[in-house]
Structure 1
Amino acid sequence: MAMSGGNAIRGTRVGAGPMGESERGETAPRENIPYYCANGHVTTPSFASEAEIPESWDCPRCGLPAGRDGQNPPAAPRTEPYKTHLAYVKERRSDADGAAILDEALGRLRASREL
C-alpha cells in the first residue's frame, strides 16, 4: 500500500527546526497602553518597557486621534474647506486694491495697443 501525498506535516518544510521564541530570542519586556478616541473606541498597542510612550495614537477603527485619558479624549481635528485661488486672492486684497490693479493693467494694455 503506497502513501498518498504525506499530508501529515503540511505547511512545514523538512529541516525547519523548532518554531517559537527559542529560535528568535527573548522578547523585550512590554507594557500595553490604552488609548481612547472621541468615538468611544479603545485601542491598546504594546510598547517596550523602556520606550517613550506617545501622548496620542491614531485610532485604527475610525482614524481619529486617541489620547490616554479615557474621560477626555482628544477632539477631532478641524478640516479646512477647499479654497479656490480666487478665495486666497480675496483674502490678501480688498476690492479697491483689485480695481486699482485692474485699471493699471488695462491702462498698460491700451497704451501698448496705441503704439
Structure 2
Amino acid sequence: MSSGSAIRGSRVGSSPMRPDERTEPAPRRQVNYFCAAGHDSSIWFAAEAPAPDTWDCPRCGQPAGLDQEAPPGRLRSEPYKSHLAYVKERRSEEDGAAILEEALAKLRQRRGRP
C-alpha cells in the first residue's frame, strides 16, 4: 500500500510530457518587440491572435513596441517614498511638533509622570 502523500498520476523520476508523433502543436507566430533601452523581446502568439501594439519588456519592464526605429518612450518612474515622506508632504514642521508633543504628553500621563 502506498503512502497518502504521493501525487496521483505521477511517479518518481517521470519525464516531462512530450508531444508524440500523432499530435501537432497549435500554429503560432513570433512577434518582436523593442523598448527604449534597446532590448529586443521575442513573444510567441497564436497564429490567429492579433499582436498588441505594446508589450512590457521582460528585461526592464518598460513599454516595448513593434517599431524598432521608434520604440515607445520610457515610463516616468517615481522614486520610492517612505511613509514618513508622505506624512511630511501633508504636515508642516510645526504641525508635526505639536502632534509629537501631544503624543508624548499622553504617554507621560499613562506612566504617571507630569
How many residue pairs get aligned? The number is 96
Structure 1 residue 110: deviation in Å?
5.4
Change (3 A) 1:114 1:21: closer
Distance in 1 (CA, whole Å) between partners of 2:92 and 2:27 is 62
- Where does residue 6 of structure 2 map in the other structure? none
SS at match of 2:101: helix
Q: How far is the alpha carbon of 1:101 from its aligned partner?
A: 1.6
Aligned identity (percent) is: 54
Mapping for residues 96-111 of structure 1, pairs under 5 Å: 96-109=94-107
**Separation (CA, whole Å) in 2 of partners of 1:66 and 1:91:** 34
Note the residue ranges of structure 2 that are not aligned, 5 or more in a row: 1-17
1:1-115 matches, within 5 Å, as 22-25=21-24, 27-60=25-58, 64-109=62-107, 113=112
Please say which structure displays the higher CA radius of gyration.
1
Q: 1:20 to 1:110 in 2, by over 3 A?
A: closer
Q: What code does the residue aligned with 1:104 have?
A: E
CA-CA distance at 1:22 after TM superposition:
3.3
Closer/same/farther in 2, CA of residues 90 and 22 from structure 1, 3 Å limit: same
TM-score by length of 2: 0.56
Q: CA RMSD in A?
A: 3.3
Deviations, residues 53-110 of structure 1 (Å, cap 9, x unaligned): 2333344555543211323212333433333332222122122221222333344455
Q: Which has the higher helix share?
A: 1
Q: TM-score, normalised by structure 1?
A: 0.55
